Amino acid sequence: MQQRRRRPLRHPGEAVGRAGGNALEQAQHAPHPGNAVERSDEMHLRRPGIGETDIHAVRHQRADETFGTIHERRIRADPPATGRPGESLHHAKPRIDRCPVPRRGASRLSRAGTDPAVGIDHFSLRNEPRSVLPTDGGAAAMGIVDCARLSSNAESIMMMIRSALAVILGVVLAFGGASEPRADEFPSRSIKIVVGFGPGGIGDIAARSVAQRVSDATGRPVVIENMPGAGGLTAAASVARASPDGYTMLLVSAQNVVNPYLFKSMPYEPGAFAMVSTIGSFHTLVLVRKDSPYRTIADLLEDARRNPQRVNIGTISAGSIQHLSALLFASAAKLDVPTVPFRTTSDVITALMGGEVQVAFEMTPAVFGQLQSGALRVLAVWSEQRLPMMPDVPTLGESGVPGDYQAFSWNGLVVPAKTPRPVVAKLNAEVVKAVADPGTQARLSGLGVFPQASTPEEMQGLWDTNARIWREVIAGAKLAQ
């Protein structure tokens, strides 16, 4: 068979075919990539002055999963054996190269198999800046990229990023290490106790009583910061975000245990606090007017079952420990009577005295004055044992109402969860001494609070018990908001 004559190239770097056009267009419209070089009568690529590698056909760019890495995929031809400029590529073998930018530690040339789609070999050329690729305008028109330039730029960017990350990490580690206090030097400055209620309340008085004794013992100021709002959530969120160094504490009560089950959205995560110690406990009382016909819990239960429409139970706001206690009492006693929540304790007492409600559930400190004056009587106390300050008042269990009465109310102190354990232990020791002080005992007892410190583990157990009991009551009454 007679061999066809090859048509010479008219200009350097230009290919002419039967249909006309340059080499890139010819390659893009070729029936099959594998035929691009074999049809030498239709296409020749000649690059004067470059004797190492000539490239033609199509270019495909993709982004590698590695940040900042760009691959140039193209069909290329090996240089002719002679390496003379301008020699025809008719006998060159096509293959695919990738030019990763940057890639360290890879082999210079590795075979990756055969591409079944185009019938040519795949090779991966790694970590070699191919300066032989042209960088002039003609190369740009053909879509050829200078791998050396890409590699240099990408490596510079990656080095800048690594340096910035190293600086940031160093700063974080330096400040993190400097912020962790040593227990033998603690406290070295003032301590703050955040109270989620206004001044003058039982919690505020309990916190101030302990703060004064701790300040006297350590020689450092202990400051009370009142932060009322959102049922104590504002104060709790503030301490949860505080530095875990032991210098910020939060006064908590059983209400802090309840809140995560009442509100679907909380301003802090569960487990945001580490226990320090309890300060004192105060229990829910079942109250009636001094002239009420009910002399015992049995009298109340009998009338409520006979005439349920005549008995209303008053408490403060829905979701409070007093309200949950009333709901649990009615459930345990199998009573079908309404529970009426009021805004404040004063509103509850007014309704009780006026006959709007026949029974009230309230904490000891809130009604201590009315009990001393004789305006109110206590039918029973929500406790496992009788209270030392009310030895003649029976518990609800003794009065014939079965139930779990471990969920009394209390006050205590907590710190952010990541506070070092030696610092927590130091704080616990100081609070225990403060609560045991005779002055603190007298002041809290005079308010109807039973002074009682604890270990962090005992306080955590109390917290968990409260959570278990009140979670079930809230779910049963569908109180979650």
**DSSP letter for each residue of 363-419:** ETGGGHHHHHHTSEEEEEESSSS-BTTBTTSPBTTTTT--S-----EEEEEEEETTS
Listed residues 340, 363, 381: the one ending a domain: 381
Containing structural domain, residue 202: 183-282+409-477
At 156, is the secondary structure helix, strand, or coil? helix
At residue 169, the pLDDT reads 62
Query: Rounded to whole angstroms, what are the CA distances from 407 to 200, 257, 258, 324, 478?
Result: 25, 11, 11, 10, 19
Burial class of residue 315 (count of CB atoms within 10 Å of its CB; 0-12, 13-18, 19+): buried
CATH number at residue 251: 3.40.190.150
How far apart (Å, rounded) are the C-alpha atoms in residues 305 and 82? 112
264/118 same-domain check: no
150/28 same-domain check: yes
At residue 201, the pLDDT reads 87
At residue 94, the pLDDT reads 45
- Residue 336 counted as domain residue: yes
Which one, of 217, 187, 282, 184, lies nearest residue 434 by Cα?
A: 217
How is the beta sheet containing 109-115 ordered, strand by strand?
Answer: 54-63, 70-77, 94-98, 120-125, 109-115
* Low-confidence spans in the chain with pLDDT less than 70: 1-155, 166-182
- Residue 168 counted as domain residue: no
296/363 same-domain check: yes
At residue 146, the pLDDT reads 47
- Residue 321 counted as domain residue: yes
- Residue 393 counted as domain residue: no
How far apart (Å, rounded) are the C-alpha atoms in residues 269 and 266? 7
Domain count, the chain: 3
At residue 389, the pLDDT reads 86
97/31 same-domain check: yes
pTM, two decimals, is: 0.63
357/450 same-domain check: no
